A and B are shown apart, each in its own frame.
Chain A
């Protein structure tokens, strides 16, 4: 009976949980060995075994939100790009295993000088209105985002590009102001729109009736509720195996779980570890998860007038947090330990970096020796962050003699406070960081370089190292720059990496799909049996 998926006897549930913990531990080992996929569900075999047999004619995917737009030059959030990346082609894609940029619409590229790049554009690609995709469309897709009037929220991802020009229908040249080592990684997020069509119907027209060259095209949409995509018959690549995709906006995570259990949806995004534990053990559903490049971290205020100005207090905080307990108990095993504010998936993460140590006795001693009597620290937070986690850190720090006051406000107010250049926001803040770039540059520079909006830290040696790494294409030099920068950062304890976040999805056990490190949702990579 399907009822059992929810109303399992306590003993079976306990068994399910311990199985999932074991599976998660095993998955962690596999991940360490270099595999990018883990599936803590106890019936992980079912997804591959069921891929033979007849294909289902449609899949329903529950997202947390309705896409803000179907214009890929505008908003850039998970629910939005999950949909439009299936409609448009990107210039490059990532290899699902190595996460390295690989050919997609661009088949080849080279950089004759450190500041110029030549791309060969695939020929024979057609937009769903029948017009051919050329280098001019790619240049147009970049240039519209660089146009201040278009006001693209993604501007920051592409602002390294100075010019984008089509030199022939299959040749594209990009120039950058300085050498840009992260250019390719951001080009994996560049979706290509048809120039002639956009110029004819305008930006609003593209949003309401999107035309792309991707594996799917829009069939119908009910604003705020759902979007139906159908297979693009003229797609240049391998035809996707699922003919129809229905993306639904289901903001409540518990409802997404119910949709899976009732069979109304076959895939649900954005689940928590708690919800995943409800799904493991059911026979018709499975949990799919993958380590992402998102890092959960604490940033410590080293500039404002707070106890965290003292290096001893900061060191004590980093020794006083029980990282393993957070990963095991709060994140349900859907997280991995890290040794700094970066994940091992990102370029620049040092090879042999030790994970954070938990040593409450040493931490307590450091607090006593710091000369700060009865340290009181303020911890601003917002509803975007798990209150249980913040409270766990509060109680860990209480044990070593640091009193933490949590100050909650909504996200907009929180941002206003912590990004204020006066650095009087408190002492510790929690954050989740992802640059979709898999490179230390998108993490260390904006978070800790002197004078950026997030940094309450300043160290000229650190600044010099991350600046040098930003302006060279030499991989060896970049790696040693980041090793140095991370060494300084960890010595100063300006930030503490808590764990690497796993993306958690609930899925029908008939779905075969491997989620990736940047949470893209390419439906053409999915298989669903009947």
Chain B
């Protein structure tokens, strides 16, 4: 077995897992699982939220270190389970490192849901959260419209690799602006309920849970990184909403929130 190929496979696995939003301790465990049966003299793995370093010491090729940076992240749980399947079949000996690498690249291009389902999901999740916060049925309907618009906006900006802070800021702005617009036309009864409910799909509640999970596992570096990310996202969203409110005030009219 070529140690260079195995290392390439291991580092690509880690990179894909990290880009799809997996926790770092889990990635370390997975890479360990890949490298353990390959009989290296020594191996060391270091994973943070923004990059991976793997060092392997083999008898015939000496010390090799591979490093990979992962700048952009999104949540994609189907890819995570696909990658785990590939790793399991590699460990069981059904795939060689080269085949596994090809499979890994194939798995990445697989889309789970068509575009419109994802967009609709943003709206519907927002709608049901609005109803849970105590909104009326009409608030829920407004929330679907606003949420779908926000989904289109966020997805389009993400596809263009825009700065993350700006994406969230624009998302917040769109929600705030459209919610007030709907209220102006007499649709919806409670502005704050609509805004907060619609923002829930991009609000960082779940990432924050993830980050504290990492911290309690002992991964202070990645946990703190994630926590800062979550706080920054919340700040970006509320900045966007505040901008929308200020704009509406400038355009004339009294908004009480």
Q: Do A and B bind each other?
A: no
- List residues of chain B with CB under 8 Å of any chain A CB: none
A residues near B, CB below 8 A? none
